[in-house]
């Protein structure tokens, strides 16, 4: 493997200090656009994980007893700091996982700041209880209290966003936090933690990188960790559930998806063609998103017209290229393991599918011949595969890349049955101008999130969570507090 000339070294943040792994071991971070090492992160140990728990536990008393408005002031300062360091953070995220700079700069950073500001405003909400007059001489009331130490487990596809929604609301509620980023994309999270610690008291927020089995398991099973929030795979969720069996604790799981984007014959096809491609699956991070609309269901009467329009959109707008260049619209696959997985599904699609509508190629040498510095990167072009039925593996299994299937349907009932015929239930899209149909679909789709005539719009105003194998719970201030009931006899 070739190595970049300048290797940057990043460290854990524990108890307000930058600390290397106690063993001195490191993990090489690969820039997915080039396939070259560009940074190193700590390969932390059980001892490091336990140090983070101790730091968070010590900090909990002081942080949790602050008035809500004081915690809010800290969180607003973090929001301001993120804006100030937006250019640096967006570049780190892009180099770390390949998400194109035009999205990490102009979309991600403002979004992160707004979540910190929203969490600041939510501190008062998370501190309120209810009072009940139980009788002439008795009264009852409830308190909302933080859990204690919260562990957030991050994925490699969107580290900074998931870091933010977990840490901001957990801190707003009065918890202290430990973040465990994926060892496949930890750089931006380590720097993010360093910046946030310029504002927070030591130990309030800690970031520890390393192997999921050694570090992650130690954190989630630790008796002094009180809540776990994971964004990741079902495999990781099952492992966490097993490791906490002897020491049960509340958990939030936001897992995978195989979302259906459903286009009816009365839809605005121009708008739908852009929505299901650019917003739905062929995104700046190459379709590596849990809510990606990887099953495009199209009413049979318009399927040929719709396919033509989708091909035109892909050809015109999806430009592969150096993710640091502002004109690049789609970046590489984030790591070698995922690259091989997606390539294998494309080969499977060639066997299972009716035809490759567009795409199917991979590899920097073939796709970007004029950019030799990207030859060893993990590049896959946008790929649409037409199929005849929803039961194929490429329609049922999460691919997590820029690959989507196009499936015909005839009736509304058939579309609903097909959309729900999956173990997942994270997202769904509906494209129609029929308002009655839109409301029927919303009610009948087995999904935590449904978009109508748009796709993948999220924000702090509304919760985001899944059903079925896509997980349960949401990262919100109420989820990060528990309710205590008190009865008083006033005589």
pTM of the model: 0.95
pLDDT at 3: 40
pLDDT at 6: 80
Residue pair 366/372 in contact (Cβ under 8 Å)? The answer is: no
The closest alpha carbon to 319, from 375, 258, 402, 263, belongs to: 402
374 DSSP 8-state letter: G
pLDDT at 367: 97
Residue located via tokens 């396939």: 35
Q: Is 363 left (phi over 0), alpha (psi -120 to 50) or beta?
A: left
Which of 183, 254, 352, 381 is an active site residue? 254
Residue pair 39/8 in contact (Cβ under 8 Å)? The answer is: yes
pLDDT at 78: 98
| Count of residues making up the chain | 491
pLDDT at 1: 35
3-state secondary structure of 235: helix
Which of 93, 183, 194, 290 is an active site residue? 290
DSSP notation for 317-376: H--B--TTSTT--B---SSHHHHHHHHHHHHHHHHHSSEEEE---B-HHHH-TT-GGGTT
Which of 183, 194, 398, 479 is an active site residue? 398
List of the chain residues with pLDDT < 70? 1-5
pLDDT at 122: 96
Residue pair 412/438 in contact (Cβ under 8 Å)? The answer is: no
Mention every residue, 6+ apart, whose C-beta is less than 8 A from residue 476.
122, 169, 463
Instruction: Tell me how far apart the terminal alpha carbons of the chain are, to the nearest angstrom.
Output: 78
Which of 180, 249, 258, 309 is an active site residue? 180
Is 468 known to be catalytic?
Answer: no
Mention every residue, 6+ apart, whose C-beta is less than 8 A from residue 219.
49, 52, 53, 151, 153, 178, 180, 208, 225
pLDDT at 131: 94
pLDDT at 2: 41
pLDDT at 326: 95
Is 254 known to be catalytic?
Answer: yes
Is 290 known to be catalytic?
Answer: yes
Give 217's Cβ-side CA count (13 Å radius).
12
Is 249 known to be catalytic?
Answer: no
Residue pair 70/34 in contact (Cβ under 8 Å)? The answer is: no
Strand partners, 253: 230, 472
pLDDT at 5: 56
């Amino acid at each position: 493997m070739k190595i970049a000339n300048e290797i940057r070294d990043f460290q854990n943040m524990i108890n307000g200090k930058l600390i290397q792994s106690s063993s001195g071991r490191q993990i090489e971070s690969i820039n997915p656009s080039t396939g070259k090492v560009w940074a190193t992160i700590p390969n932390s140990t059980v001892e490091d994980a336990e140090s983070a728990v101790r730091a968070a536990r010590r900090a909990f008393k002081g942080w949790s007893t602050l008035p809500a408005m004081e915690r809010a002031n800290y969180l607003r300062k973090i929001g301001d700091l993120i804006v100030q360091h937006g250019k640096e953070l967006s570049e780190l995220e892009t180099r770390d996982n390949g998400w194109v700079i035009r999205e990490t700069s102009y979309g991600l950073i403002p979004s992160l700041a707004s979540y910190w500001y929203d969490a600041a405003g939510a501190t008062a909400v998370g501190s309120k209880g209810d009072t009940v007059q139980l009788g002439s001489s008795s009264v009852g009331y409830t308190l909302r209290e933080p859990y204690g130490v919260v562990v957030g487990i991050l994925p490699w596809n969107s580290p900074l966003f998931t870091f933010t929604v977990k840490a901001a609301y957990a801190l707003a509620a009065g918890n202290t936090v430990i973040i465990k980023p994926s060892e496949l994309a930890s750089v931006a999270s380590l720097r993010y933690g360093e910046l946030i610690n310029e504002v927070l008291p030591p130990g309030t927020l800690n970031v520890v990188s390393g192997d999921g089995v050694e570090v992650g398991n130690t954190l989630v099973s630790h008796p002094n960790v009180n809540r776990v929030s994971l964004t990741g795979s079902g495999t990781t969720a099952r492992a966490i559930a097993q490791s906490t069996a002897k020491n049960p604790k509340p958990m939030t799981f936001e897992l995978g998806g195989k979302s259906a984007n459903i286009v009816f014959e009365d839809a605005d096809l121009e708008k739908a063609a852009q929505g299901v491609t650019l917003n739905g699956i062929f995104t700046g991070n190459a379709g590596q998103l849990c809510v990606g609309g990887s099953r495009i269901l199209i009413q049979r009467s318009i399927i040929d017209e719709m396919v033509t329009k989708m091909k035109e959109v892909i050809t015109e707008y999806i430009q592969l290229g150096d993710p640091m260049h502002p004109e690049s619209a789609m970046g590489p696959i984030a790591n070698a393991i995922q690259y091989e997985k997606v390539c294998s599904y494309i080969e499977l699609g060639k066997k299972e599918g009716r035809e490759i509508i567009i795409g199917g190629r991979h590899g920097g040498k073939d796709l970007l011949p004029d950019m030799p510095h990207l030859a060893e990167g993990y590049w896959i072009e946008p790929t649409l595969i037409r199929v005849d039925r929803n039961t194929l593996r490429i329609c049922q299994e999460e691919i997590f890349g820029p690959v989507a299937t196009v499936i015909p349907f005839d009736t509304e009932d058939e579309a609903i049955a097909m959309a729900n015929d999956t173990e997942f239930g994270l997202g769904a899209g509906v494209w129609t101008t029929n308002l009655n149909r839109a409301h029927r679909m919303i009610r009948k789709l087995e999904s935590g999130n449904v978009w109508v005539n748009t796709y993948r719009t999220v924000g702090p105003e509304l919760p985001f969570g899944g059903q079925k194998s896509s997980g349960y719970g949401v990262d919100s201030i109420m989820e990060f507090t528990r309710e205590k009931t008190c009865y008083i006899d006033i005589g």
